[in-house]
Amino acid sequence: MTTILSLSVLGVLVLFLGILKKKSWLLPLILAGLGIALCFTMTEWNTGKYYYHEMILIDHYTVAFSSVMILSTFLIFSFASHYYRPVQRPLDDIYAIMIFALTGAVMMTSFSNLIMLFLGIETLSIALYVLAGSHKEAITSNEATLKYFLLGSFISGFLLFGIALIYGSARSFNLHEISVFIAGHADQLPPMFLAGLFLLIAGLAFKIAIVPFHFWAPDVYEGTPTLLTAFMASVVKTASIAALYRFFSSTFHGIHGVWEPTLATLAVLTIIIGNLSGLYQPSLKRMLAYSSISHSGYMMLAIIAFSGRSANALLFYVLSYSIATIIAFGILILIRESKGNDLFSSMNGLAKTNPFLAFCLTIALLSLTGIPPLAGFMAKYYLFTAAMEQGLLWLVIIAVMGSAISAGFYFKPIMAMYLKPPEGNPLNAGWPYKAHILLMTILLFIFGLMPFLIIGLL
Amino acid sequence: MLTLVLIILPLLFSMAAFALKDERRVRLFALVASLAEFGVAVAAFIQYKTGCHCLLLFSANWLESLGVSLKFGMDGISLLMVMLTTFLLPLIILSSFGHSYARPSAFYGLILLMEMALIGVFTSFDGLVFYIFWELALIPAYFICAVWGSHDRIRITFKFFIYTFTGSLFMLVALIWLYFRTPLPHSFDFRALYGLSLSQGEQGWIFLAFFLAFAIKIPVFPFHTWQPDTYTESPGPGSMLLSGIMLKMGLYGLIRWLIPVCGGALDEWGQPAIILSITGIVYASLIAIRQDDLKRFLAYVSIAHVGLIAAGVFILNLKGMEGAVIQMVSHGINIVGLFIIAGYIEARTKTRSIANLGGIASKAPLLAIFFMLILLGSIALPMTNGFIGEFLLLMGLFEYHAVYAAIAGLTIIFSAIYMLWMFQRTMLGKTTGFTSEISDLTLPEILTLIPLVIMIFWIGLYPDFFMKVAGPDIQTILSYLH
């Protein structure tokens, strides 16, 4: 609860600083504020309370996922001073909107009422529509925001309609009361309720970018300013998948026979199509977009294979995926800055000109591929184990084949960096930037070798 | 404890090598480091031989809640593999002294990193830890071959990576499946996995998943298509690491994990597996005869020889298995020797084409003599190491089925044909434009080859010394079948 409050206050403070034109105070304040919010979040461990007439539930699950998202935002903000160097104006609006988006994301992990879920999603989405278009001069950014907004608001309608239909049958927005309703009508649920459920699935699937609701993602990712794409690929993904998990693990678990085939089909499609499309992308940013799509497919496994282990597995997966993705985007920022584009060919010979950055990007990509002993391997391992425990062998086999395909595109930048002769200027990054990337790379090793730091939490 | 030292030492050495800059220093450091590692391995060997015949087990908790523990140890089979690895590594490093590699610190650092992963594979007694090292070995191997290889390396090493990565992912699925079949609390411990009673159908599926991973690595026909290209395009030390040691990972995996865990599946799948292995022998031999590129020739020779070893493992009798283990050691020594000689020839003549070579013996007699000695081991002349292994393997095959033994026995004839013919075309006859100026072996080069020759005859004349190490453990492995 204090998380949501402290983040909102932080956002407002940032806006005030903008009015006072204290540009140099912005980032230190934000980083400190996020640190404080993270501490507040952690202190709520073990409380397990409802707030606001059971609108919000703060439990271990909420705290853990909120912490991951705040941490990811913190890591992304650490790139901001470098990324926005050429920009003269104060940027308080962009930063404040990012923090508001984060607030929405936290709400999405802590809802215990469908209205709260919708509020969270809208807080997050509206902020994102603005962020996607925040590079006003670039036509790609305008394209991205228009696409995202049109499709996103359309899908929000689906979501709201779904919630309304569920309300119509269960006579409540409260998740607990809905589950009582489900328990009472388990053998014959009204068609209206089921229609509402599937509309909800569609709405959330769009936000996570699950096939076949994923078409917006590559274009929007490509047009959005890179720093904010990193935010979309990590924090937004975490929030939406956490919301989906919460939704299906608590309230709707009683009727998992109803939605399981649908989610399983979506997961399979996401893994296969996400990975196969990844093979045909010409640039790093689009490739990362498809990588994020296919990873949401793996994450769906945790939802389908709901058990004691799966929340842990999902948490660990989200954390390792976010860190690796943020490293990749951090280096992508540098590549776009010095080469003007992010085609694989512009990464040629990076290992000779910038051996350190090339090494870190390689580790991040290997982690995303799932090579031991990195965090990404352990994450996949836990996820596959959780799925296998529920007897979902066929899903695991498909996921494994997906990983094999994904090596096909994760290795493209690695091959470009190590095996092609260098061309053009070396990348230009100061030591704080490099230290930051190094820190995250070390985290990938630490979580890979000591997954028990995270895995026993939930 | 020594086992743990054996794994950690190369990792530390590798990090140190990455930190060094000067080429001479890195080389020397890598050589000294690998010799030190060999020293530790010898100490472990002595401890094992004189003392306990125990597992030299090191065990520590890692992921307790999942039943994964860091369990490293060596029985006789592991010990032989570790000895082979640590013995070959200094020689591989020494053989690269004549060649200057760009970014030497990375090159030698990766070689030492690879040594760590290989020893990890050979000493892990926990299924998941085994898998982690198995995958880990792939990364340095990929980079060594891809970065320092010749012109078509990018496409070919990528194929190699995808091929082996895909194969091993199915092994991971099989391992997780087995994990859930172990009694509560689940574990990956080898004893728990060995003790499983699986239905025939399950064993079949587990077998197929393991077989895919191992068969690609070995490689067994028809999963070999990555191999000739990769061996050809890799830098010399890369080819030696892949052929000498890395393919033993696959064979070792068959013995350590496949046979005891799902050996029952061989009632059903043994026949096809043996037929594939034997097909590989004949197929690769026939292709080897027609090869012109020296390294490509050796690649096919390797496929032919390991085909026989794989067949020896699948027949599940003591002779075949003993032959397989001793032949794994011999094959490692011989193929690395042959690659070293091929490297020396290429460095001197700037060509690998057999058609361009000839008359080397008249200009460089020492080179020809060493070549002949190693070649004799490879074609399994009595008194050399190859003879012991192939003899046992063929005896084992004969016990299994005479026809298979007859077909596989062709390997002896074939290998004599292609090896001696190759020797004749490169070493004898008139010199060519490429070989007229060829110089003889230098002292460091001779020192590199002498240990190999000693081993060829040591194993050939007194194989008991090595067979006794692994013998009891092979029986233990086979006893899990009944």
Domain segments of chain A: what residues? Answer: 2-455
Q: Are B380 and B455 in contact (CB under 8 A)?
A: no
Residue B140 has pLDDT above 90, yes or no: yes
Q: What is the ipTM of this complex?
A: 0.91
Q: Is A161 an 8 Å CB contact of chain B?
A: no
CA dist list (Å): B432 to A362, B235, B425: 46, 25, 11
The percentage of residues in chain B with a pLDDT greater than 90, rounded to a whole number, is 37
Residues 175-194 of chain B with CB under 8 A from chain A are: 176-177, 179-180
Yes or no, beta carbons of B169 and A400 under 8 Å apart:
yes
When pLDDT is averaged across residues A200-211 and rounded to a whole number, the result is 90
> Within 10 A of B165 (CB to CB), how many other CB atoms are there?
22
Average pLDDT value for residue range A405-422: 90
Helix (H, G, I), strand (E, B) or coil at B472: helix
For residue A452, is pLDDT > 90?
no
The b/e string for B246-265 (b: 16+ C-beta within 10 A; e otherwise) is bbbbbbbbbbbbbbbbbbbb
Could you tell me the pTM of the whole model? 0.93
Q: Which of B64, B172, B177 sits opposite A393 (nearest CB)?
A: B177
* pLDDT (average), residues A255-284: 91
pLDDT at B340 over 70: yes
Chain B residues in contact with A359 by the CB 8 A cut-off are none
**pLDDT (average), residues A46-72:** 88
- Among all residues of chain B, which has the CA nearest to that of A377? B132
Residues of chain B contacting residue A403, judged by C-beta atoms under 8 Å apart: 169
- pLDDT higher than 90, residue A276: yes
Residues of B in contact with A358 (CB under 8 A): none
Structural domain count, chain B = 1
pLDDT at A272: 94
Q: How far apart are CA A116 and CA A108, in angstroms?
A: 7
Distance (Å) from the alpha carbon of A240 to chain B's nearest alpha carbon: 28
Q: Taking CB atoms and an 8 Å cutoff, what residues of chain A touch B138?
A: 371
Closest to B135 (Cβ–Cβ): which among A371, A411, A419? A371
For residue B207, the distance in angstroms to the closest alpha carbon of chain A comes to: 16
CB-based contacts of B170, cutoff 8 Å, min separation 6: A397, A400, B209, B212, B213
Asked if B63 has any chain A CB less than 8 Å from its own CB, the reply is yes
Q: If you average pLDDT over residues A89-102, what whole number do you get?
A: 89
Q: Is the pLDDT score of A380 beyond 80?
A: yes
The pLDDT score that the predictor gives to residue A309 is: 79
| Stretch (H or E) spanning A51 | strand A49-51
Stretch A135-149: mean pLDDT, rounded?
Answer: 90
Q: Is A388 on the interface with B (CB under 8 A)?
A: yes
Judge whether B238 and B145 are in contact, CB under 8 Å. Answer: yes
| CA–CA distance, B86 with B35 (Å, rounded to integer) | 8
pLDDT at residue A456 is higher than 80: no
**For residue B226, is pLDDT > 60?**
yes
Residues 393-422 on B with a CB inside 8 Å of A are: none
Question: What would the two tokens of residue B265 be?
Answer: 């599946």
For residue A435, the model assigns a pLDDT of 93
| Chain B CB within 8 Å of residue A215 CB | no
Closest A-chain CA to B102: A352
Q: A 412-441 residues with CB below 8 A of B?
A: 415, 418-419
Whether residue A169 is predicted with pLDDT greater than 80 in this model: the reply is yes
**Tokens linked to A296:** 């949401």
Q: For residues B68 and A344, what is the distance between their CA atoms, to the nearest angstrom?
A: 39
Query: Which pLDDT does position A427 carry in this prediction?
Result: 84
Q: Is the dihedral of CA B26, B27, B28, B33 positive or negative?
A: positive
For residues A63 and A110, what is the distance between their CA atoms, to the nearest angstrom? Answer: 8
Sequence-separated (6 or more) residues with CB below 8 Å from residue B435: B349, B356, B357, B358, B359, B360, B363
Interface contact B173, partner A, CB < 8 A: yes
**pLDDT above 80 (res B389):** yes
Distances (CA, A) of B26 to A15, B11, B94, B105, B241: 56, 15, 12, 6, 19
What is residue A43's predicted lDDT score, i.e. its pLDDT?
87
Q: What's the average model confidence in pLDDT over B343-356?
A: 87
Which residues in A lie closer than 8 A to residue B146 (C-beta atoms)?
Answer: 415, 418-419
How far is the alpha carbon of A457 from chain B, nearest alpha carbon, in Å? Answer: 12
How many CB pairs (< 8 A) connect A and B? 67
Tokens of residue B354, six digits: 């057999």
DSSP class of residue B126 equals B
d(CA B107, CA B137): 15
State the smallest CA–CA distance between residue B132 and chain A in angstroms.
Answer: 5
Question: Which A-chain residues 357-386 have CB contacts (< 8 A) with chain B?
Answer: 366, 371-373, 377, 381, 384-385
Residue A365 has pLDDT above 60, yes or no: yes
Pairing label, strands A49-51, A56-58? antiparallel
Residue of A nearest to B159 (CA): A408
The pLDDT of B197-206, averaged and rounded, is 86
Q: Looking up tokens 């949401």, which residue turns up?
A: A296
- The helix/strand/coil state of B369 is helix
CA angle A37-A41-A43, nearest 5°? 120
% residues pLDDT > 70 (chain A): 100
CA separation, residue A135 to residues A88, A122, A139, A236 (Å): 13, 21, 9, 19
Give A392→chain B minimum CA distance, Å.
11
Q: Give strand pairing partners of A343.
A: A283
Give the residue numbers spanning the domain of B326: 2-479
* B154 contacts A419? CB cut-off 8 A: yes
Residue of B42, B28, B16, B139 lying closest to B93 (CA atoms): B28
Which residue bears the tokens 């194969």? Answer: B167
